[in-house]
Chain A
Amino acid sequence: MSSIAQPHSARAEAAIAAATEEARLAAAGRTDAISGPRAIGVPLKRFAALVWTIAVSQFKLKFYGSALGYLWQLMRPLLMFGVLYLFFTQILRFPEVQYYPVVLLQGIVVFTFLSEATVGSVGSLVENEILVRKIQFPRLAVPFAIVLAALFNLLINYVVVLVFLIIQGGSPMWSWLYEFPILLVLLVILATAISTLLSALFVRYRDIRPIWEVLLQTIYFISLVLIPVEAITNTTLRKLLLINPFACLIEQLRHAVISASAPTVLEVFGNPWLLALPVTIAVALCVIAFIVFDRMAPKVAEEL
């Protein structure tokens, strides 16, 4: 059996030769060849429209058909808070810092955001296989959309946090208007970087999901969600914990949103140069995430 496909007639052969030549001529000198799938590769406005549309659909997917579905989603951090609050007031000694319940609630809300964004993103490219395999669109839109949906929940949850703070006797601060948004942006960037990295790695290594779930648990305990930084007596340990950029954000958010008297990250470090450590980690994460995703993007449709 001949294994090489070949034209069956002289006529076909001539036609193919002519077509090949025609294509070669038409391609000569042109530089606008299509590039195949990319991480972004489209105008920003279109990218934003895509992220938005996917986020809306993800949102609908999650809560379609359950009227209370979304309510439960919002209740989750509150329920978690209730349990921990009881634990810390009834069983363990309550850490003596200003507005501790609010600090605890904010920690849980912020951590919930990180968890929703990253856990949702891990399998996102694979779960959106139907789209990825059939339409060319910027692949980065998928994890971004998941983060966007999680951000939406975070903002609603933050309303609860602020209301709770006022009930507890706190008062609005000017830092809500400038420091708080900046910190939120940093938080979103950090979460996006992690989400992007995980979604790209998961396409090839399916072990990423369980690994990340364990890591996330670890982050929960070392990120000052439960315990404010003053409760740690060992000052070296304090600094060590703050090397984690996520812990920095939670601590700084506490200062900016809940009580101005809480120590800033800079105050805990003492030396401004130490701040370079978490910053470096965060920047490195972003860079690595982008490089990995950019490399993976053209191959996603094949590797699924």
Chain B
Amino acid sequence: MDPAPSGAVSPRPAVVIDDVSKSFTLPTEQVHTLKERALHPLRRSASEKLDALKGVSMTVNKGEFFGVVGRNGSGKSTLLKCMAGIYQIDGGQIFIDGRLSTFIELGVGFNPDLASRDNVTINGVMMGLTPREAADRFDKVIEFAELEEFVDLKLKNYSSGMQVRLAFSVAIQVDADVLLIDEVLAVGDAAFQQKCSDVFYKMRDDGQTVLLVTHDMGAVTRFCDRAALLDRGRVVDFGDPEEVARSYLDLNFGTSRVEAQHGEGARVGDGAGSIDDAWFEDSDGERLETLVQGQHTRFCAKATFSRDTANIEWGVVFENAEHHPVFATTTTWAEIDTGTIAAGEETSFSVDFEVPFAPGRIFATPMLTYRGAGDRYVDRRERFASAVVTATRHSGGSVMVAHDVHFAKSKASK
């Protein structure tokens, strides 16, 4: 990224957010009786200040597909609402070139007691169409939402998925220059999600300026040209969608400390040796609680022996959250001879691999066995170590296989 050099003519960005802050006053829950109010009519109830946005800056260029990601409560929706002009900002400036269309908090405002035609007209007019234009577009809106059969139904009789479809359909039919979309992919059935995807691709190709708020990192990496990560009201990462998506996953699993409980499961063994520690680490030897799919990782385990022992075998089984073994390996399979181990000696065992696991928690069960004896354990600690796997691509199974996808089309030969 290079800031526009002074003097050069650079096209005006579609959206400029310059040092924007916004705070809310939250009244702390207090019941005021009428009498109390009458006695102290001027006293305001106690309140707390919540800073939802603290000096957020970013620009979105014309024709750019821009992603805004962040955990719940990080300020994404507040930012969108400020841009939409629904909230007044406390500091900074927002510039938007052209007409704005919004799809906020699962939909535009629909009145449950009105039929879809009235709701679509109201929303269209609110977003800047004339009543006639809004009425003219109704058919297109309904067609896209695939709700032709339900036109005369009141909105309250629509399923939530149908409402979202209608709302999204309205939002994209008002000819906006800038489109703000908050979490559309989270709802709707598979067919509609596919339809949204198609629309997003088309928008990107048509050079439509879009701001997409989402939790779906797959969508961010697929559609977005750039992205920003918000955390507690600040921008904490910006730029390349892949990097931002990774930061988001780090943030999600790195900060909620529910990780790496040792010794979750049962322990069996004859006591000749004891597995004391097991962990995942990166190539620098830094211990990991989050594994990124495709990245080089090492699983390590250590054991000390209290008796002279021979003919042992180190092994590990990786299980996913559903207790399915995903992968296992042992020193024997790797044709490593462990020799004899004297009392007081320490042994270590490690497995290097590129994380193949699908996103989710992965558990490691390290074990020391007597070679060839099957289930005679020196020590076996079930689900002794664990980590969370994150990924930016879907795999649909329990592992990701390195692969390429091809597609071609041609005229059918007769």
Quick check: is B199 within 8 A (CB to CB) of the other chain?
no
In the complex with contacts A26-B12, A64-B114, A135-B127, A36-B19 CB distance below 8 A: no
The reply to whether B87 and A36 contact each other, CB–CB distance below 8 Å, is: yes
Quick check: is A6 within 8 A (CB to CB) of the other chain?
yes
Quick check: is B88 within 8 A (CB to CB) of the other chain?
yes
In the complex with contacts A12-B247, A50-B125, A130-B109, A23-B57 CB distance below 8 A: yes
Bitwise interface map of B from 1 to 20 toward A, beta carbon under 8 Å scored 1, else 0: 11110000000110011110
- In the complex, residue of chain A having the shortest beta-carbon distance to the beta carbon of B13: A26
Quick check: is B265 within 8 A (CB to CB) of the other chain?
no
- Residue numbers in B under 8 Å from A175 (CB-CB): none
The reply to whether B113 and A61 contact each other, CB–CB distance below 8 Å, is: yes
For A23, give its contact among B17, B81, B82 (CB under 8 Å).
B17
Quick check: is A69 within 8 A (CB to CB) of the other chain?
no
For B57, give its contact among A11, A24, A49 (CB under 8 Å).
A24
- Residue numbers in B under 8 Å from A32 (CB-CB): 95
- Compute how far the CA of A134 lies from the CA of B77 in the bound complex, rounded to whole angstroms: 11
Q: Which of A13-21, A102-110, A244-252 contacts B (4 or more CB under 8 A)?
A: A13-21
Quick check: is A89 within 8 A (CB to CB) of the other chain?
no
- Residue numbers in B under 8 Å from A52 (CB-CB): 131
Quick check: is A54 within 8 A (CB to CB) of the other chain?
yes
- In the complex, residue of chain B having the shortest beta-carbon distance to the beta carbon of A52: B131
Quick check: is B118 within 8 A (CB to CB) of the other chain?
yes
- Compute how far the CA of A96 lies from the CA of B122 in the bound complex, rounded to whole angstroms: 51
Q: Which of A161-169, A256-264, A294-302 contacts B (4 or more CB under 8 A)?
A: A294-302
Quick check: is A27 within 8 A (CB to CB) of the other chain?
yes
Residues 110-127 (chain B) with a chain A CB within 8 angstroms: 110-111, 113-114, 118, 121-123, 125-127
- Compute how far the CA of A35 lies from the CA of B127 in the bound complex, rounded to whole angstroms: 16
- Residue numbers in B under 8 Å from A37 (CB-CB): 85-88
In the complex with contacts A26-B95, A64-B113, A302-B24 CB distance below 8 A: yes
The reply to whether B13 and A19 contact each other, CB–CB distance below 8 Å, is: no
The reply to whether B236 and A6 contact each other, CB–CB distance below 8 Å, is: yes
In the complex with contacts A22-B59, A134-B102, A301-B86 CB distance below 8 A: yes
Quick check: is A33 within 8 A (CB to CB) of the other chain?
yes
Number of A-B pairs, beta carbon distance below 8 Å: 171
- In the complex, residue of chain A having the shortest beta-carbon distance to the beta carbon of B134: A53
For A134, give its contact among B96, B109, B237 (CB under 8 Å).
B109
The reply to whether B58 and A8 contact each other, CB–CB distance below 8 Å, is: no
Quick check: is B105 within 8 A (CB to CB) of the other chain?
yes
- Compute how far the CA of A230 lies from the CA of B102 in the bound complex, rounded to whole angstroms: 59
Quick check: is B245 within 8 A (CB to CB) of the other chain?
no
The reply to whether A135 and B84 contact each other, CB–CB distance below 8 Å, is: yes
Residues 256-304 (chain A) with a chain B CB within 8 angstroms: 298-299, 301-302
Residues 131-145 (chain A) with a chain B CB within 8 angstroms: 131-137
Quick check: is B346 within 8 A (CB to CB) of the other chain?
no
Main secondary structure of the interface of A (DSSP, over half): helix
A31 to chain B, nearest CB (A): 9
Quick check: is B233 within 8 A (CB to CB) of the other chain?
yes
A275 to chain B, nearest CB (A): 35
- Compute how far the CA of A224 lies from the CA of B229 in the bound complex, rounded to whole angstroms: 65
In the complex with contacts A134-B105, A135-B84, A19-B235 CB distance below 8 A: yes
Interface centre among A16, A18, A26, A137 (most CB of B within 10 A): A26
Quick check: is B128 within 8 A (CB to CB) of the other chain?
yes
- Residue numbers in A under 8 Å from B34 (CB-CB): 207
The reply to whether A22 and B3 contact each other, CB–CB distance below 8 Å, is: yes
B64 to chain A, nearest CB (A): 13
The reply to whether A49 and B131 contact each other, CB–CB distance below 8 Å, is: yes
Quick check: is B94 within 8 A (CB to CB) of the other chain?
yes
In the complex with contacts A25-B4, A53-B131, A34-B85 CB distance below 8 A: yes
The reply to whether A57 and B111 contact each other, CB–CB distance below 8 Å, is: yes
Quick check: is B225 within 8 A (CB to CB) of the other chain?
no
Bitwise interface map of A from 161 to 181 toward B, beta carbon under 8 Å scored 1, else 0: 000000000000000000000
- In the complex, residue of chain A having the shortest beta-carbon distance to the beta carbon of B113: A61
A1 to chain B, nearest CB (A): 8
Quick check: is B295 within 8 A (CB to CB) of the other chain?
no
The reply to whether A130 and B110 contact each other, CB–CB distance below 8 Å, is: yes
- In the complex, residue of chain B having the shortest beta-carbon distance to the beta carbon of A135: B126
The reply to whether A5 and B130 contact each other, CB–CB distance below 8 Å, is: no
The reply to whether B58 and A19 contact each other, CB–CB distance below 8 Å, is: yes
- Compute how far the CA of A134 lies from the CA of B125 in the bound complex, rounded to whole angstroms: 14
The reply to whether B109 and A49 contact each other, CB–CB distance below 8 Å, is: no
The reply to whether A12 and B238 contact each other, CB–CB distance below 8 Å, is: yes
The reply to whether A54 and B59 contact each other, CB–CB distance below 8 Å, is: no
A98 to chain B, nearest CB (A): 45
The reply to whether A135 and B95 contact each other, CB–CB distance below 8 Å, is: no
B231 to chain A, nearest CB (A): 4
Quick check: is A46 within 8 A (CB to CB) of the other chain?
yes
Quick check: is B239 within 8 A (CB to CB) of the other chain?
yes
The reply to whether B88 and A298 contact each other, CB–CB distance below 8 Å, is: yes
- Residue numbers in B under 8 Å from A7 (CB-CB): 236-237
Provide 23 A-B residue pairs closer than 8 Å at the C-beta atoms, listed in order of the A residue: A4-B232, A5-B232, A8-B237, A8-B250, A11-B243, A18-B2, A23-B19, A24-B19, A26-B18, A27-B93, A33-B94, A34-B83, A34-B85, A34-B94, A37-B88, A49-B130, A49-B131, A64-B154, A131-B111, A134-B102, A137-B126, A301-B86, A301-B87
19 new A-B contacts, CB < 8 A, other than A37-B86, A134-B104, are: A4-B232, A11-B243, A12-B247, A19-B239, A20-B57, A33-B93, A34-B85, A35-B85, A56-B118, A61-B113, A130-B110, A131-B109, A131-B111, A131-B122, A134-B109, A135-B102, A136-B102, A301-B87, A302-B24
Binding site for B on A (CB under 8 A): 4-9, 11-12, 15-16, 18-27, 30, 32-37, 46, 49-50, 52-54, 56-57, 60-61, 64, 128, 130-137, 207, 298-299, 301-302
